[in-house]
């Protein structure tokens, strides 16, 4: 029993002497430190005065100067157009699309036919009496150049002038607005060749809905992409 105790004490003394370096140390005192490094592959050597790369919120280094972030793809949008529509069909198509398809923007635009010109007018009134009343109001505002239309699709509208170009029509409209004629409008001069364009813009996912709805209103008018 004494021999066993002596042997254990002797072994402990040898181990202490070895760890204390009594049997010699490696030539490089830092040689043993390599084994103690954690995540050595993440160590970056920098020159004197260099700053280490900044850390992101998740602990990783932020992107370096010159690196570009991946481009974000913009959401696609549809734009469909129906051209050369009569006024009634253009009104029905534009109002139906706007009312039934949320998120779809609709534009109804008059297109002047060649040589038709532009006119400035007060929209048709409900009766001749209403048209005469409106004409009296124009006279009180100092407007002399006007006449009440007595027949046709614009019966009881009041014409305030016919111009050869859109610019001329818009200029006259601005003058009349400045004089207080708030109900005046400008547009292509009515005629047999007058027509309208309707455009619908919105998410690409609504394109099929727009086309299906339009096909029931103007089945003979081809739909095309906006120009």
Q: What is the mean pLDDT of residues 51-65?
A: 52
Candidates 224, 169, 205, 211; CA nearest to 75 is 205
Q: Examine residue 176 and state whether it is found in any structural domain, yes or no.
A: yes
What percentage of the chain carries pLDDT values higher than 90? 41
Q: Examine residue 149 and state whether it is found in any structural domain, yes or no.
A: yes
Do 138 and 187 lie in one domain? The reply is yes
Can you give the pLDDT at residue 113?
59
Do 102 and 127 lie in one domain? The reply is no
Can you give the pLDDT at residue 36?
53
Q: What is the pLDDT of residues 139-181, one digit of tens each?
A: 999 998 899 988 877 889 999 998 888 889 899 999 999 999 9
Determine which of 58-67, 120-129, 132-141, 180-189 has the lowest per-residue pLDDT on average: 58-67
CA distances (Å), origin 86, targets 36, 72, 82, 186: 85, 42, 11, 18
pLDDT at 132 over 50: yes
pLDDT at 44 over 80: no
Task: Specify the pairing of strand 224-225 against strand 105-111.
Answer: unpaired
Can you give the pLDDT at residue 190?
67
Q: Examine residue 128 and state whether it is found in any structural domain, yes or no.
A: yes
Q: Examine residue 148 and state whether it is found in any structural domain, yes or no.
A: yes
The whole-angstrom separation of Cα 145 and Cα 160 is 6
pLDDT at 63 over 80: no
Do 200 and 104 lie in one domain? The reply is yes
CATH number of the structural domain spanning residue 150:
3.30.70
Global pTM value = 0.43
pLDDT at 60 over 50: no
Q: What is the pLDDT of residues 79-88, one digit of tens each?
A: 999 998 887 8
The whole-angstrom separation of Cα 200 and Cα 210 is 8
Do 123 and 148 lie in one domain? The reply is yes
Do 122 and 157 lie in one domain? The reply is yes
CATH number of the structural domain spanning residue 204:
3.30.70.2860
Do 186 and 119 lie in one domain? The reply is yes
Q: What is the mean pLDDT of residues 34-56?
A: 52
Can you give the pLDDT at residue 97?
94
What rounded mean pLDDT belongs to the chain? 78
Q: Examine residue 81 and state whether it is found in any structural domain, yes or no.
A: yes
Do 150 and 200 lie in one domain? The reply is no
- The total number of structural domains in the chain stands at 2
The parent domain of residue 201 ranges over 76-112+194-227
Do 218 and 161 lie in one domain? The reply is no
Can you give the pLDDT at residue 151?
82
Q: Examine residue 30 and state whether it is found in any structural domain, yes or no.
A: no
Do 150 and 215 lie in one domain? The reply is no
Candidates 42, 80, 119, 86; CA nearest to 210 is 80
Confidence of residue 48 (pLDDT cuts 50, 70, 90): low
Q: Examine residue 82 and state whether it is found in any structural domain, yes or no.
A: yes
Q: What is the mean pLDDT of residues 32-52?
A: 52
Q: What is the mean pLDDT of residues 96-113?
A: 85
Q: What is the pLDDT of residues 197-217, one digit of tens each?
A: 999 999 999 999 999 999 999
Q: Examine residue 108 and state whether it is found in any structural domain, yes or no.
A: yes
pLDDT at 67 over 50: yes
């Amino acid at each position: 029993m004494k021999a066993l105790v002596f042997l254990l004490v002797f072994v402990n003394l040898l181990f202490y002497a070895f760890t204390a370096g009594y049997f010699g140390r490696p030539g490089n005192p830092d040689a043993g430190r390599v084994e103690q490094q954690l995540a050595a592959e993440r160590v970056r050597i920098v020159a004197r005065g260099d700053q280490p790369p900044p850390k992101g919120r998740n602990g990783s280094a932020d992107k370096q100067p010159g690196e570009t972030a991946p481009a974000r793809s913009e959401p696609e949008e549809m734009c469909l157009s129906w051209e050369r529509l009569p006024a009634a069909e253009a009104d029905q198509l534009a109002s139906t699309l706007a009312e039934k398809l949320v998120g779809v923007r609709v534009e109804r635009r008059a297109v002047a036919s060649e040589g038709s010109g532009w006119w400035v007018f007060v929209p048709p009134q409900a009766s001749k009496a209403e048209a005469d009343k409106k004409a009296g109001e124009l006279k009180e505002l100092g407007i002399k150049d006007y006449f009440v239309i007595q027949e046709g699709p614009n019966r009881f509208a009041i014409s305030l002038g016919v111009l050869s170009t859109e610019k001329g029509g818009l200029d006259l409209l601005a003058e009349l607005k400045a004089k207080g004629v708030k109900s005046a409008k400008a547009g292509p001069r009515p005629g047999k060749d007058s027509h309208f364009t309707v455009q619908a813009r919105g998410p690409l996912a609504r394109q099929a809905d727009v086309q299906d709805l339009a096909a029931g209103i103007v089945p003979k008018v081809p739909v095309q992409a906006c120009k």
